[in-house]
Amino acid sequence: MVELKRMTAIKTDIQSIINGKYVSSENFSGSFVLAKLGQKISRARVLATVIDKFISSDESYGTLTLDDGTGKMRVKAFGDLKIIENVENGDIIDIIGRLRSYNEEIYIVPEIIQHIKDQRFITLRKLEIEKQKEELKRKYELVSEYQKKTSDLEELKNILYKKFGIKDDEIEAILLSKEIFNEKHAEEEMKNKKEEIIKLIEKLDSGNGCEYSILLKESNISEDTFEKIINELLAEGVCFEPKPGIIKLL
């Protein structure tokens, strides 16, 4: 019989979790949150203040809302609620649990909860997380730097391990993070440019629509990007062409 190895609980802040990307797996144990600096978090250890507690009327479901100063997130307990029964609003807790996601909300399923009274423990945790982030940033920058020098993944792994001791799984997580968050950033940029184009059309339309040539010049974006945005706006029914070369908002 194969013994399943329990994932290490990673000390982290709430911001790193909620700003990360939940990567699901058919096997729940393989799911994780990928933080922006390429850290994979399956089990998290979070130190935070409880700002809200909820228990369902049939006592089959309960939540805690946590705030650690960097963000807010929920803890969800199902079935047996003993693990949260002695936790109250205002308590400072150190919680270990698995990360899950539902309706785009990442939450913690609690495994261990410890009450914290000593302020020194809180200060120490903040220092530990800051030091951890510095190390993650160092590795992220090294992977980014050497990625520009070689397109071969195995060569990249070999160089980074021999020179800096960065392991294969760390490199793969960083590369995945770069891919996911760069793509997300590009989508956000396109969305912003689309909104700018809509505002420009409204501004430049004197009643009969706006000429494409004027709109392109005023938008100050590349012709390819401009064409892509215009095609999307027409396909979505946001705009229409009253006549060739003219665009108008519906």
What pLDDT is attached to residue 241? 92
Which CATH number fits the domain that encloses residue 209?
1.10.10.10
What pLDDT is attached to residue 184? 67
**Which band of pLDDT confidence, cut at 50, 70 and 90, is reported for residue 28?**
low
Could you say which of 57, 83, 117 is where a domain stops?
117
Domain that residue 237 falls in? 189-249
For the cut 50, the answer to whether the pLDDT of residue 3 exceeds it is no
Instruction: Look at the chain and report how many structural domains it folds into.
Output: 2
pLDDT per residue over 96-109, tens digit each? 999 999 999 999 99
Interatomic CA distance for residues 120 and 29, integer angstroms? 33
Which CATH number fits the domain that encloses residue 23?
2.40.50.140
For the cut 70, the answer to whether the pLDDT of residue 6 exceeds it is no
Within 13 Å, how many C-alpha atoms sit on residue 17's CB side? 33
Residues 197, 101 share a domain: no
**Which band of pLDDT confidence, cut at 50, 70 and 90, is reported for residue 5?**
low
Print the SS3 string covering 179-221: HHHHHHHHHHHHHHHHHHHHHHHHHHCCCCCEEHHHHHHHHCC
What pLDDT is attached to residue 27? 64
For the cut 70, the answer to whether the pLDDT of residue 61 exceeds it is yes
pLDDT per residue over 156-173, tens digit each? 999 999 999 999 999 999
